[in-house]
Structure 1
């Protein structure tokens, strides 16, 4: 049994040696010192010396003195550094020949004349207008929206205005209501109709109203009739203070007529005003 085992081990050892001899020798075991196509590295001391100038031939010919390392074995060693010299050829200045005087004069004559200065438009001028009065803020906002594209800037403001609501003819107020009624009865006796005694509290309380007229001429006629009958009739304008709104705008001078045509609010006009 032992002999049979030794025999088998011997056969296996022979097979392993044969395989190593056959397969181990088939591939390369060493890498060449340099790859193909890459020049070898040469030291400066290995370069030939020119007899005439005493300088390295590579330096005089303008060719690189050394090439990069190709072998890994050479890199492992501490070799001296290679020096590469690149030739520098100075650029030759291009000679300039002065042009003859006749050619210079001809070129100046043929050169296009500079463009004439184009007159610029005059600076646009502006003016300020006050548009109104508007009875309601709705009319003001509508007009402001309509004129927005024609105005540079705008603002709104409110004012108090006194409006006339006609002319009234009356007898002065009495101290008491009884005196006012007695005065009214005397008017009736003189044939003067269309009157009433004011009972509402205020400055006209206990007065006798003789009529309200839109035309001041009719009011004066009525007053004169009552005075002729022997009563101290008076005439005064009836006014009320109400708020109104104005729209101030800044517009170019050439759009003034367009602004006036665009106003649609009743009673509103455009008039010059101070700028803001």
Structure 2
């Protein structure tokens, strides 16, 4: 190779090398850079445990909501449970009330009001006392003797009972709505020499009622329910039903 040709080749290589250097310097800002903490290529290829790089568990994790305990309500529920258990063991502690009388429409409203009441409830028909009768006991002298006795005492306010029933054939001395007035009238008759004067309840026709039984606490709630739906009356059950 001639000397001139060699010189030309060297010049071409120099120009090419300078071009590469220029390109590197021009592209350097756009090339990805590694930080001082970069683990390096080998760390990218081989899994290395670095506990210092694991995030510590957060201390701001949500806490369970605080549970508020109502001691007063708990004691009330306990007392009610004890009452109900005692009532089941001893039925004599259970109260009994009659709610009525009612018509068909009122019965539906009362049943709705009682839907959440925890006592025992049933619909019944009962003959509830509508008053009291003061009369002469027919087993003592009989109607004829009674009439003669009344005439001898100057008592004219009486009538003979002829309708079928337990009082048929007796002599009525008066009808009263409350027991106290009936008792007073009997004392007045006894003061006039009548020693076989009796008092008996007067029963009305059968009417519809709700018969309600429960513990003292349940009966207190029943009174509050009745105050919201004041249909009919809330009465004590007759002795035979209690």
When the two structures are superposed, what TM-score results if normalisation uses the length of structure 1?
0.44
Between Structure 1 and Structure 2, the one with more helix by share is: 2
Higher-Rg member (1/2): 1
Query: Larger relative contact order (C-alpha < 8 A, sep ≥ 6)?
Result: 2
